[in-house]
Structure 1
Amino acid sequence: MLSTDSGATRRRLLRAAAAGGAATLAGCAGVDDGSPTPGSDASTEWPYPAFDPQATAYAPDAAAPRSGVTERWAVETPRPTDRPVVAEERVFLPGAAGLHALDLATGESVWTVGPGDQPWTNAPAVVDGTVYATFRERPGVLALDPEDGTERWRADVGPVSSSPVADGEGRCYVGTRDGGLVALDAGTGEVAWSYDLFGEVVELTFRLPTLVAGTTAGEVYALYDSDGPRELWRRKVGGKVVALARTGGDALVSAFGGKLRRLANGAHAGSDRWANRDGGTAQGGLAVAAGLVFGGNGGGLTACDVRGGETAWSAPGRFAAGPAAAGDTVYAGREGEVIAFAHSGGVGVGGLSVGRKRWSHPVSGTPLEGLAVADGAVVAVTGGGEEGPPRTYVLDPA
C-alpha cells in the first residue's frame, strides 16, 4: 500500500496519464464490444459485489456452468442484505447480523463479524488479501483478515451506505448515509479526504481516473481524485439510483421508476448518449458483457445494446437478483430457480428464439441481491419463504 509522499506522487502521475488516455478515448464506445467465448479459467474470484470496481458483473475469462449444474453445497444462511463476494477461498455473505464468511469448498461457517447491535452489512471488497467491510452503523468500515476475520483497522466515518471500492494505489472509497464520499488510506484506515454529495450514497464505482457515485436523491456525480476531490460533472436522473456501472469512460445508470441511461464522459459529460425505459429500475445491479448491458426487475430480464441502447432481447419473470455474466453466459435468478441464458439471446426473434435458455436449477425461495461467478461455479443466495429458510447455493458444472 502506498502512504508516503513518493506514493502520492506516483498516484498523481498515474492519474494524469490515465486522464490523457481518457480524453483521447472520450466519445468512443469503450472496450466492451465483440462476441464472447466460453470462459476457461476455473480459478477466478469475484472480489467485488459486481466483480470489479467498474461494477460490470462480468468475468470474461471465468469458466462457469453452460449446460447444467450440480450442487457443490447448499446450506441455510441468513437472509442476504447485499451481494455475495467470493475470494480467498471464502464466500463472504452480508447479512443483518454482520458479515459471514463461509468455506468455499464445504459451505461451513468460518467466522462472523458485526460491530454494534444492528450492523446491517453492505457487500465487502477483497483487495490484496484484505476484506474491506462496511456497515450501516458505526464505526462504518473495518479491514479484516479473510482467514479468520481478525480486525486490522477500523475507520469511524459514521454509518456507511455503499460497498467500498479501491483504486489499487492505496485508496479505499466509501459512501455514507449522510451524503459523504470518503477516501481512506487502504493500509491504515486514515481519512484522506471527504466530500459532500446530495443524498445517501448507495452506488459507487471507480475507473481510473474517476469515481462515479449515485445517491438516493437521484444525483450522479463524477469526481477526480488527485490527492483530493475535484467534481467533474453532476447529473440528476429523476429517481433514486438503484444500479450503476461503467463502460469505457461512461456511466450506465438505472433509476427507480425511470430509464436505463448511458451518461457520457468527455466533452458532453453527464449528458445522455441514450436512454431506454425497458432497462429501468434494475434490481440488484447491472451486468455489462461484450456489447450488452443486462438488468432485471419485476417485468423481466432485459439485454440492451451498449452502443445505441436498443433492446436486444428480454426474458419474462420477476428477477430480484442482479445478473452475473461469465464468458458467453448470463446468470440470473427468478422465483424458485437460478437460470442461465446465452449472452446472444439465442437464435430468432422475441419469444420464438431458440437456444436462449441454457439451463435452470430449482432453489428454495427467490434469489436475492445478486449472483456471483467464481471457482468455476455460480453462487446464489435466496431469501427463503414457504419453501424453507434462506440458503446459499454453490452450483458446479454438471
Structure 2
Amino acid sequence: MPSRREFLLGVGVAGTATVAGCLGSRTDEPGTDDDYAWPTVGADLRNSRTIADGAAPRDEPDVEWRVDLESALATGEPTVTDDTVFVNTGRDIVAFDRETSERRWSIDPENEPYSYQGSPTVFDDTAYVPEREVLTARDLETGEADWTFELERIISESALTVTDTDDGRVYVAGGNAVHALDAKSGEELWEQELLGIASYAIAKYADWLFIATKGGELYRINRWEGRVEWRRTIEAGIASAPIVLTSSDRRLGHGVAIADGDGSVIYFDSSGKREWQTDLGGFGNDGLAIGHRTVLARSGSTLYALDANDGDNLWRADIGRSSRNPPIIVGDTVYVGGDRLRAFDVGGGYGIRSLRIGGQRFDREATGDVNYVTAADGKLFVTTDVGRFEGDDTAALLVLS
C-alpha cells in the first residue's frame, strides 16, 4: 500500500480533483477492437460518443500526419470512414484521404466567410452534407451530388441534425421543423413542426427520435409517422445534444439525458419522466458521452463523471481552459480537448473521496487549443483551434496513434 504522502503526490501528478466514491475503480478493460469508424456526429445513432470496446492510445500518442485547414477552427467534429476523413472548416467541408492526407474533394473551396456548421454523416457510399440551408447527398468517392433538400433555415450550430439509419431514411432538422427523407432519393416522407429552432444532433433509438431546441424543448417523436409522443420544457434552455442511455448503461430501462443551460445534467426515462438531475455548478458544453455505465460531461474547466443510474458524482477532474470540446470514450479511456489533449481512466483511477491516483493517462500539448476529438481504427482525429486567423496561423487536423 502507498503511504499517505505517496498517495497525495500521486493525486497531484494525476491531475484529478475531488471525487465521490469508495476506494477502488470502475475501470473497464482496455479496448481490443481496432476496426471501427466514426461515421456520424456523436459516433452512433444515439449520440453516445463512445466506442465501448475500441482500442486507442492510452499513452501519449505520436503524430501520424497533420494537415492545415486554412481556417481558424473547425466547426464540426471529424467524421471518419475506412478511407476518408471529413472536416468542416467553417469555410468549406473537406474530404481527406486517410492514407495520403490529400484533399479528395470539397464543396466550396473559394468560400471566405465562416458559413458552414456541423459534420457530414456517412452511410454506405453516401455522405450527407449540411450546406447552409441545404442538405446534399454526395457520392463518397467523388463528391458529386445525388440529390439536395432545401430547408427553410440554415442548418446551424452543431446541428448536423442529420442521422442516416438502417431504415432507409435520413432525418434532418433545420429551423423549427424536422423532416424525414428517403435516403436514396431525398423525397420528403413527413415533416413535424417544433416550438423553437432545432439545434444539436438528433438521437435515434428503436422507433423514436429525440430532438432538442436551444430554447429548451426536448421532443420524443415517432420516427415512422413524425408524431410527437411527448415534449418536455427545460426553462434554462438546452446546452447539449440528447444522448440515449440504454438498459446496458443502467440497471433498469432506457431514457435520454441532456445538459441544461444552468449547468445541470437531466435524465428523463422513456415516458418523459424526469428521473434525476445533477447540478454541475457551471455551464456545460455541447456534448455528453455515455459509456461503461458512466455519463461524462464537461462544465467549464471541469470534466465530471456521473453514475448513469442516479446521477451521483463519481469523480471529477480539472481539464484547464474551456473550449468547444465534448468528451469521447474509447475502450477504458476518456479523451477531451481544451488547452491540450487529455486522457483519463474512465473509472477515475483509484482512491477515496478527494484522494485519487492513476486517473489521468496523459496530457499532450498541441499548437493551438484542441477543439474536437474523434476516433477510428485505433487512432485519434483531433482538430486544433488558433482562435483567430492571422498571417500563417491556421487550425489543423492531426491524426494521432
Cα distance 1:50–1:395, how it changes in 2: closer, same or farther (>3 A)?
same
Instruction: Please tell me whether the aligned partners of residues 255 and 280 of structure 1 are also in contact (alpha carbons under 8 angstroms).
Output: no
Structure 1: runs of 5+ lacking an equivalent: 1-33
1:86 corresponding residue in structure 2: 80
Gap change, CA 1:240 and 1:382, over 3 Å in 2: farther
Greater CA drift, 228-237 or 99-108: 99-108
Question: Unmatched 5+ residue regions in structure 2?
Answer: 1-25, 247-253
Q: In terms of mean alpha carbon deviation, does 339-348 or 71-80 score higher? A: 71-80
User: Does the 8 A contact of 2:261 with 2:283 survive in 1?
Assistant: yes
Kindly indicate whether the alpha-carbon contact (under 8 Å) linking 1:36 and 1:60 is maintained by their aligned counterparts in 2: no
Contact 1:66-1:358 at 8 Å conserved across structures: yes
What displacement does 1:281 show? 3.7
| Aligned CA distance change for structure 1 residues 279 and 379 (closer, same or farther; 3 Å) | farther
Rounded to whole Å, the distance in 1 between the matches of 2:326 and 2:353 is 22
Q: Which residue number in structure 2 is paired with residue 201 of structure 1?
A: 198
CA distance in structure 2 between the partners assigned to 1:327 and 1:215 by the alignment: 31
Instruction: After TM superposition, give the deviation of residue 61 of structure 1 in Å.
Output: 2.1
The 2-side partners of 1:80 and 1:229 are apart by 32
The residue aligned with 1:50 is 42
Task: Confirm or deny that 1:184 pairs with 2:181.
Answer: yes
TM-score of the pair, normalised by structure 1: 0.84
- Matches of 1:176 and 1:237, distance apart in 2: 20
Opposite residue 185 of structure 1, the aligned amino acid is D
Is the contact between residue 167 and residue 208 of structure 1 (CA under 8 Å) also seen in structure 2?
no
Distance 2:368 2:380 in 1: 17
Encode CA deviations 1:168-213: one digit per residue, 9 max, x unaligned.
1111001112x11111101111111110001111131111110000
Query: For structure 1, which segment, 215-224 or 155-164, has the greater mean C-alpha deviation from structure 2 after superposition?
Result: 155-164
Aligned match for 2:359, one of 356, 360, 380:
356
Size of the aligned set, in residue pairs, is 354
Paired AA for residue 117 in structure 2: T
Q: Quick check: 1:88–1:146 contact (8 Å CA) kept in 2? A: no
Contact 1:98/1:121 (8 A) holds in 2: no
Cα distance change, pair 160–82 in 1 and its aligned pair in 2 (3 A)? same
In the alignment, the residues of structure 2 paired with residue 279 and residue 253 of structure 1 have an alpha-carbon distance, to the nearest angstrom, of 15
Deviates more, 1:279-288 or 1:37-46: 279-288
Calculate percent identity across the aligned residue pairs. 28
Distance 1:176 1:63 in 2: 35
* In 2, Cα distance between equivalents of 1:115 and 1:156: 21
Distance 1:284 1:148 in 2: 32
Q: Equivalents in 2 of 1:239, 1:104: separation in Å? A: 41
Partner SS state of residue 280, structure 2: helix
Q: Does 2:339 match 1:343?
A: no
The match for 1:306 among 305, 308, 331 is 308
Query: In the alignment, is residue 110 of structure 1 matched against residue 104 of structure 2?
Result: yes
- RMSD across aligned C-alpha pairs, in angstroms? 2.0
Question: How far did residue 74 of structure 1 move?
Answer: 2.1
Partner residue in 2 for 1:4: none
8 Å contact 1:214–1:221 — kept in the other structure? yes
Taking a change above 3 Å as real, the CA distance of residues 285 and 173 of structure 1, as seen in their structure-2 partners, is same
2:274 to 268, 272, 276: 272
The 3 A distance-change label for structure 1 pair 109 and 351 is farther
Determine if contact 2:264/2:279 at 8 Å carries over to the other structure.
yes
For the 8 Å contact 1:314–1:350, the answer to whether it is kept is: no
Tell me the distance in 2 between the aligned counterparts of 1:43 and 1:129. Answer: 18
The answer as to whether partners of 2:280 and 2:299 remain within 8 angstroms in 1 is no
| Partner SS, residue 284 of structure 2 | coil
SS in structure 2 opposite 1:312? strand
Higher helix share: 1
